[in-house]
Amino acid sequence: MDTLLDMHRQAVLAHPSSQPFWDAAREGRLLLPQCAACGRHHWYPRTFCPLCHSSRVRWQLASGRARLHACSGLLRDPAQTVLAFVELDEGPLMLTHLVGRQLAGWQIGDELQVSFRALETGLHLPVFRARETEAV
Amino acid sequence: MATVTRSREAALGWIVGAFEHPTRHAPDVSTAELHRACAAGALTDAGLGFADVDGYFGGRDVPGSNVSWLIDYLNIRPRFIDSTDTGGCSPLAHLMHAADALASGRCSVALITLAGRPRSEGMRTGTAPRPGEPERPDSPWELPYGQTITTLYAMMAARHMHRFGTTAEQLAWVRVAMSQHARHNPHAMYREPVTVEQVLASPLVAPPLRRLDCCVISDGGGALVVTRPEIARGLRRPGVRLVGGGHTLHGSAGGYFELTTSGAVVSGAQAFAEAGVKPRDIQYASIYDNFTVMVLMQLEDLGFCAKGEGGRFVQDGQLIAGAGRLPVNTDGGGQCNNHPTNRGGITKIIEAVRQLRGEAHPAVQVKDCALALACGPGGSVSNGHSHATVILERV
């Protein structure tokens, strides 16, 4: 198995509180931690709110919508992975991958929708693709 | 809670020994031996010996699970040990901590070393994901995306260009200035001057960053010896002292962070306040240059120019000694000279010491240099980078 993905599997096991996220991801749903005290979402997930330090944090179903903040990728990478920071509609920036286009096809501000990639570890990883314009 | 401003006197630590190992490729030398050679060089420079050392400062580049093994290898007897590690800026933090330990009487002669051999070990510093650490709190969320140092800095550059209109040509001017300085450094890894056109013709590694936006990967290291004023006055070296310092972590803040801002906003403000000086007073600056974009971001965040003006500040040779408004990295920097063990912190201090002593190469020596700054980040964006700034004064 890919060393990085095996390390990721170990990381998930080392953070038991992350399990609901991965369970939802398997079903194609993106959960975000939201604070019941201040109402804000944060990323990466913690068991407390890093913004107000309340411990009243719960998993909430996210819109899955985001906007491209910045992206890049190694041109020599055979997989042509596009790494990105996306700004989730709920507020925080998230490190992720973009799928469906080559690096040169993306522009800051592009509207995005979450998607999930099944990894060989059995975990499902959130990635983002271009959001289809809704028909009027 | 009120901020306590430390008195300048309490912060004083005098740098009496500084040494940069001449090697940039050391396949036949152990990392411990590189540390020893650097320590010996700095102690010789100071006119002191290993028996005089009673404080040791080193980071994770010290071989072994902690610094004990190197201290035993050197056979020194410290009564104060600090192994603070915040990445590449660690030596800047060590310098501040050494000054504090000296001021409080915890030690009298502080030794700081940094060394390593990423080049000999074939490390792809910027373009391979770092080995994961499962217990790290961000690992479940960021590790599987396989980010590399270069792709993260590339996104910073892309964002800076988007927000402020910074251009690839402006980034290239940083490399051009460092290459003009490296011409005069016989030990520099790349001594050939380059033009803006040559930088722009170098291959894209991670757009918008090109190969010549990236620093070198080099073996080597450096060391510093820091002591109290009364001991320093009895030594034969010109006096250089620490007059201000700041150290911080610019984190991901729950996802509400700005990619175009560095921790220099905090560490710089603290260092300037402590030293009681302004950016316009600085005659020479060592600015950590792991990537060209980081230089102009730090210049903005330190207050040398307004936010977003970094591109205009560095263009047209404005960082070249003798020609520009602010001489930066007159040894050739990490871009062209040296980035030992992927940690630029110590070489940044060493070139500032050379400038303040008047011992830089005559072609790049700042006339009558009395006040200098050295700064740099550790780690990278997203999961948080640390940042440290020090201000040094000729005595």
pLDDT digits (tens, 9 = 90+) for A44-58: 999 999 999 999 999
pLDDT at B214 > cutoff 70: yes
Strand partners, A117: A125
Smallest Cβ distance to A83: which of B139, B145, B256? Answer: B145
Nearest CA in chain B to A50: B254
CB-based burial, B15-39: b 16+ in 10 Å, e otherwise: bbbbbbbebbebeebebbebbbbbb
Concatenated DSSP letters of A37-81 = TT--B-SS--SS-TTT--S-EEEEE---EEEEEEEE--TT-TT--
Dihedral sign computed on CA atoms, order A116, A119, A123, A125: negative
Q: Locate the DSSP E strands across B58-108.
A: 80-82
What is the SS3 assignment for B116?
strand
Structural contact between residues A30 and A126, judged by C-beta atoms closer than 8 angstroms: yes
Which amino acid would we find at residue A40? Answer: R
| pLDDT on residue B111 | 98
Mean pLDDT over all residues of chain B? 94
Structural contact between residues B71 and B54, judged by C-beta atoms closer than 8 angstroms: no
Ordered domains of chain B (ranges, CATH): 9-122+220-232 (3.40.47.10), 147-217+243-394 (3.40.47.10)
Contact B144 A8 (CB under 8 A): yes
Let me know the angle formed at the C-alpha of B92 by B385 and B371, rounded to the nearest 5 degrees: 120
The predicted model gives B257-274 an average pLDDT of 96
| pLDDT on residue B123 | 85
Nearest CA in chain B to A71: B155
Structural contact between residues A92 and B254, judged by C-beta atoms closer than 8 angstroms: yes
The predicted model gives B275-294 an average pLDDT of 97
The predicted model gives B237-251 an average pLDDT of 94
Smallest Cβ distance to A8: which of B143, B154, B205? Answer: B143
Q: In chain B, pLDDT over 70 holds for what percent of residues?
A: 96
| pLDDT on residue B132 | 78
- The closest of B289, B312, B298, B243 to B268, measured between CA atoms, is B298
Contact A94 B132 (CB under 8 A): no
Range of the structural domain that residue A110 is part of: 3-130
In chain A, how many domains are there? 1
- The closest of A21, A98, A4 to B146, measured between CA atoms, is A4
Rounded CA-CA distance A99/B229 in Å is 60
| pLDDT on residue B296 | 96
Residue A136 resides in a domain:
no
Structural contact between residues B94 and B111, judged by C-beta atoms closer than 8 angstroms: no
Residue B348: half-sphere exposure toward Cβ, Cα within 13 Å: 32
The CA dihedral of B165, B169, B171, B174, to the nearest 10 degrees, is: -140
pLDDT at B8 > cutoff 80: no
pLDDT at B212 > cutoff 60: yes
Which amino acid would we find at residue B207? Answer: P
Smallest Cβ distance to B151: which of A11, A41, A83? Answer: A83
CB-based burial, B377-392: b 16+ in 10 Å, e otherwise: bbbbbbbbbbbbbbbb
The predicted model gives B221-249 an average pLDDT of 95
Residue A8 resides in a domain:
yes
Rounded CA-CA distance A31/B198 in Å is 47
Contact A11 B254 (CB under 8 A): no
For the stretch B66-78, pLDDT in tens is 999 999 999 999 9
Q: How many residues does chain B have?
A: 395
Rounded CA-CA distance B244/B247 in Å is 11
Structural contact between residues B389 and B245, judged by C-beta atoms closer than 8 angstroms: yes
- Block residue for tokens 């469906």: A100
A11 sits in which H/E element: helix A3-14
Going by pLDDT thresholds of 50, 70 and 90, the confidence category of residue B4 is: very low
Regions of chain A short of the pLDDT cut 50: none
Residue A49 resides in a domain:
yes
pLDDT at B205 > cutoff 80: yes
| pLDDT on residue B125 | 79
- The closest of A68, A65, A15, A74 to A45, measured between CA atoms, is A15
Helix, strand, coil percentages for chain B (3-state, nearest 5):
35, 20, 45
For the stretch B317-339, pLDDT in tens is 999 999 999 999 999 999 999 99
pLDDT at B82 > cutoff 60: yes
Smallest Cβ distance to A11: which of B134, B148, B207? Answer: B134
Residue A135 resides in a domain:
no
DSSP B326: S
| pLDDT on residue B379 | 84
- The closest of B91, B50, B328, B97 to B222, measured between CA atoms, is B91
| pLDDT on residue B11 | 55
pLDDT at B268 > cutoff 90: yes
For residue A103, the chain B residues in CB contact (below 8 A) are 207
For residue B254, the chain A residues in CB contact (below 8 A) are 40, 42-43, 46, 49-51, 92
| pLDDT on residue A3 | 87
pLDDT at B160 > cutoff 50: yes
Structural contact between residues B14 and B232, judged by C-beta atoms closer than 8 angstroms: yes
| pLDDT on residue B382 | 67
For residues B386 and B4, which has the higher predicted lDDT (pLDDT)?
A: B386
For the stretch B110-159, pLDDT in tens is 999 999 999 999 888 788 887 778 999 999 999 999 999 999 999 999 99
DSSP B202: S
- The closest of B232, B282, B285, B263 to B98, measured between CA atoms, is B232
| pLDDT on residue B32 | 98
Contact B140 A8 (CB under 8 A): yes
Token pair in block for residue B150: 């270069």
| pLDDT on residue B75 | 98
B153 vs chain A: nearest CA distance in angstroms? 9
pLDDT at B10 > cutoff 50: no
DSSP B214: B
Nearest CA in chain A to B146: A4
What is the SS3 assignment for B45?
helix
Strand partners, B285: B328, B373
For residues B299 and B238, which has the higher predicted lDDT (pLDDT)?
A: B299
CB-based burial, B167-185: b 16+ in 10 Å, e otherwise: ebebbbbbbbbbbbbbbbb
What is the SS3 assignment for B389?
strand
CA A135 to chain centre: 26
| pLDDT on residue B309 | 98
| pLDDT on residue B255 | 96
Going by pLDDT thresholds of 50, 70 and 90, the confidence category of residue B2 is: very low
CA B80 to chain centre: 23
Contact A44 B129 (CB under 8 A): no
Residue A33 resides in a domain:
yes
For the stretch B85-111, pLDDT in tens is 999 999 999 999 999 999 999 999 999
We report the CATH number of the domain holding residue A95 as 2.40.50.840
Token pair in block for residue B387: 């940042």
The predicted model gives B15-38 an average pLDDT of 97
